[in-house]
Amino acid sequence: MKKNIYLSVVAMLLAGTALTSCDDFLEAENKSAGGQTAEQRFTDDPDALLTSAYNTLKNYVYNTALNSEGTDLYIYTRGKAGGEFNEYTITPENTTVESYYSNVYNTINYANGVIKYGAEGTQPVYEARFLRNYGYYLLTQQFGGVPYITEYINSAETNYPRTPLSEIYPAMIADLTDLYNNSTLADQSHEGRASKQAVAALLAKVCLAAGWDLETTLTDALAGNYTVNGTSYFTQAASWAEAAINGIQLTMSFQDKWYPTNEGNAEEIFSVQYDRAGYPGDVSSGGHSMQNNFGGYYGNCTSSGLKNCSGVEAQSEKSMYLFEEGDLRYEATYMTTMYNAKSVNGVANWGTEGYYAYYTVSNKDKLPICGRYFPYYVSEEEAEAEFAANIERYKQGEYTNVPSAAILTLPNIIKYTFKADGTWTKSQVTMTAYHGATMNGVVVKKFDDIESAQVSGSNDYRDIVIFHVSDMYLVAAEAYFMAGQTSQALTKINAVRARAGLKALASFSDYEPQYYISATFAEKDIDLILDERARELYAEGQRWVDLRRTKQLVRYNVEFNQYVTSATQMANNSGEYKWYRPIPSDEFERNTGLTAADQNPGY
């Protein structure tokens, strides 16, 4: 039997089928459907294959290692080492990279199958074309040029050469443009299906990436300097972003936009759907874990009644100072007050006490507090006045957790510990000591699932939002900026800032970040766009791609990533920077169309 069955570019794991030949991948027999071949089955019902294609998105759309680590915004707490992605020591043998590469190609091959077996001009084929292009968008952002395959793989063929970005981007744009103009896709969908609005959003992202990758030239990686050689793709990106926005104004509050009971709202463009009630297996581990990262550690959730969080992707020092005073997104992004819970035989009350009481109790003014977190701009006097006014709420009494509070400021955290009578002691602790303890900082609440069970598994069934309207505002802003239309860029940025309760900026130079920067870190106009994206899209898994795309990856990591000590750490011994992920080593073994020269620089 052949050992080189192609599991990455040639994704062959079809639901309900079994291989009957080692030489012919898809002379497959459906053991549960009366001996139908795959071709017979999916010709009869291409929508079944489409459903499988959508489901494959769950295997990779949430990936903190690839999309959040190795940036300026997140750190590990409780003494955890930075790891391969934060420290830029990943190799072609990295299993996370290999799995991502393989899983995205799995989606692409399912989509190609729908296109092959479905009737041209039908809804399943239109949606499959969207999914195929979405898969290639993800691959190009992480790996650069990849094998570009638009045919369903149904043979033992393993020769798929790498296709340059200069060919992939135009092909994607042409296909998506035709899909937008000539398909019968719905104008919008808030139920996780492809729509014309989602196509426009994807086009905006692809054109923006094409502009940076094909129309700019890096001149200094450490300084983040580049030259702009053309603006055609940027102009297209702005136009498609406007089409995706479709006149929608940012009138919904940021808090409401992300509130657990407001899924599928008017700002959502495309999302990966989850359904606790419809999950056929063990619901305690059938969801995802977005709500369990992006915070500190708050103890065992079973006994504490607080959200399970492992101290992964917590606030970096830059993130602590990212939001300026008055920015409504701060309270809407982070859980700044945690409520106490009682425990019986080591099991805490759940839902109406503890962390999730924030959502389930209408009158929270009397609830006991076990964790209170203030941003850097709150003074000690202001914090202590709040404690004094609520002294009864800071008494532990019969509750499980010892109350504490902190002002998240540099160089040291101002930490408060409460006595039995509700009074407090105050101390200054280093960031290292604070992050090594329990109850060590805010956690992101944007992805909270009110119905979560008291478990530490993947029990979050919130839909994962991929494209949304305010992201498109900032895509438009970046595209306008790169096309030299700064006034249009500022208009989009100021619309986002207005919803956040911030004043409008008259120019890019008006922006004054609050976070600390070294004397050698020269501020750039692009920093405003990147910081606005950091605030608006915090924890949504877009940061690494944003920094790579805009050619600021090295500059930002050297300045803000505590795990990177110098630019040389992000390069190989030949001085080649790691702008992309490595093509997995398994891919070179299985794909005869690749040679060693196809590996990305830096590896």
The Cα–Cα gap between 555 and 527 comes to: 11
Q: Which two tokens stand for residue 68?
A: 């959040």
Kindly tell me the burial class for residue 603, based on how many C-beta atoms sit within 10 Å of its own C-beta (0-12, 13-18, 19 or more).
Answer: middle
Packing angle of the helix pair 196-215, 469-482 (nearest 10 deg): 30
For the chain, the residue count is 603
pLDDT of residue 15: 34
SS (H, E, C) 215-264: HEEEEECCCCEEEECCCHHHHHHHHHHHHHHCCCCCCCCHHHHCCHHHCC
Q: What is the mean pLDDT of each run of 10 residues along the chain (603 residues)?
A: 30 31 28 55 78 95 96 95 96 98 97 93 96 98 98 88 98 98 97 97 99 98 98 98 98 98 97 93 91 94 91 95 98 98 91 93 94 98 98 97 97 97 97 95 96 84 97 98 98 98 98 96 97 98 98 98 96 96 96 96 96
Q: Which CATH class is domain 1-185+560-603?
A: mainly alpha
**Dihedral, 409, 414, 415, 421 alpha carbons, nearest 10:** -130
CA 78/CA 434 separation, integer angstroms: 9
What residues contact 297, with CB distance under 8 A and at least 6 apart?
77, 78, 309, 310, 311, 438, 439, 440
Same fold for the pair 1-185+560-603 and 194-273+463-538:
yes
Q: What phi-psi label fits residue 144: left (phi over 0), alpha (psi between -120 and 50 degrees) or beta? A: left
Fold annotation for 194-273+463-538: 1.25.40
Using H for helix, E for strand and C for coil, what is the string for 108-138? HHHHHHHHHHCCCCCHHHHHHHHHHHHHHHH
The pLDDT score that the predictor gives to residue 43 is 72
Distance CA 268, CA 576 (A): 39
Q: For tokens 């890096």, name the residue.
A: 218
Residue with tokens 């900032």: 474
> Rounded to an integer, what distance in angstroms lies between the CA atom of residue 410 and that of residue 406?
12
Answering whether pTM is above 0.75, one says: yes
Nearest-5° angle of CA 78, CA 81, CA 84? 145
Q: What is the dihedral of CA 325, 331, 336, 339, to 10 degrees?
A: 140
Residue pair 221/551 in contact (Cβ under 8 Å)? The answer is yes
Residue 24's pLDDT is what?
26
Spatial CA neighbour of 248 closest among 464, 536, 468: 468
Distance CA 430, CA 410 (A): 9
Domain boundaries, the chain: 1-185+560-603, 194-273+463-538, 293-459
Tell me which amino acid residue 188 is.
Q
* DSSP states along 271-284: EE---TTT--S-GG
pLDDT of res. 284: 86
